[in-house]
Amino acid sequence: MTPRARSPRRRVLARWGDPTGRDETGATLILALVFLVVVSLIGVSLANWVGSDLGNVLNFRSARAMQTTANSAAELAVQNLRYNFDAATLNASPPVPCWTTSPTPSQVTLNAQSMSAWCTTRWQPLSTSTRIVTITTCPSSLSASACARAPLLLSVVTFDDYGSSSSTIGTAQCSVACGTAMRIDGWVFDATPPTVTAVTAAGPLCTTTPMNITGTGFVSGATSVHVIVDPQSNLVLAATNVNVLSATSLSACSPSGTGSGDVTVTTPIGTSLATSTAFNY
C-alpha cells in the first residue's frame, strides 16, 4: 500500500509548535524571565538591607562610644569635686574645667572619642546640700558656653560636706569632710537646660522689686530663680514667689534688700547661664 503523504499543515506544526496552545515553550520562557526578575529584585533588596544594617551597627557603635566616654568624663569630675572644694567652679557661668586649671580643658579620650567636662557649683553653707554641682559634658570641639546651652550629658550632683555631726557645720569651705555624702540628682543625655534672654523690673506685686523673666525651658512648679549678688564672695540669693506663666515666661520677686546681680533659672533639667547684664533691685 502506498503511504499517505504528510500534509503541509502537519509538517508546519511539527516544526514550529502547535499554535492552539498544546506546545508551552513560549510560556515557559516568560515564566523563567519573571522568575529571574523577581530573584534579582530580592537580591537587590537583601543587599540594601544588609548595607543599611551594617551602617546602623556602625552608627550604634559610634553613639555608644560617645556615651561611654561622656559617662567616664562626668564620673571623673564627680570623684574629683566630691573630695576637693574647687573655688574656681563657684557660680561659674559659663562653666569652667572640672579638674584642670582654666583655660586647659578637662578632657577624657576613649574609643577614639574626646570629651570635655565643665563644672559650675552653687555653694550653700549651713545646709546638708552644701554644694550642688552641675557638670556639662560635650565633644571637645565645643566651647564651655556652647556645651552649657546644649550638653551631650548633663549631670547634677549634690554633696553634703558636714555629715551627721552638727559640730562641724560652718560657713568655711570644707577641707577635711568634703563629700561626706553624695546624691545624684540628674544624669541625662541630650538635655535642654533653661535659658534666660531678658529680665525686667515688672510683674507681680512684691514687697521687693518685681521680676519678669523671659527665656526657654521653664517648668511649672519646678523652677527656681537666683541672683548672684557677689561672685567674689559667692553670695547667691533666691528670688521668691516664682510663678511660671509659660515655658518662656515667668515672674518672681527679687531677694530682700537692695543690690545688683546676675540672674539664673534652675529647673530639674539644669541651670541657665547667668545673665550678661546685672539686674538691679
List the end-to-end C-alpha distance of the chain, in Å, as a whole number: 134
**Of residues 173, 75, 64, the one with CA closest to residue 119:** 75
pLDDT band of 14, cuts 50, 70, 90: very low
Q: What is the DSSP letter of 216?
A: E
What region, left, alpha or beta, does residue 21 occupy, with left being phi > 0 and alpha being psi -120 to 50 degrees?
left
User: Could you tell me the pTM of the whole model?
Assistant: 0.73
* pLDDT tops 80 at residue 223: yes
- At residue 16, the pLDDT reads 46
User: For 8-22, 110-124, 185-199, which range has the lowest pLDDT when averaged over its residues?
Assistant: 8-22
Backbone phi and psi for residue 72, each to the nearest 5 degrees, phi listed first: -65, -40
Taken in order of first residue, the domains within the chain and their CATH numbers are 67-189 (no CATH), 195-280 (2.60.40.10)
Please state, in angstroms and as integers, the Cα–Cα distance from residue 204 to each residue in 124, 184, 209, 254, 264, following that order: 28, 35, 9, 11, 19
pLDDT: which is higher, 277 or 171: 277
pLDDT band of 128, cuts 50, 70, 90: confident
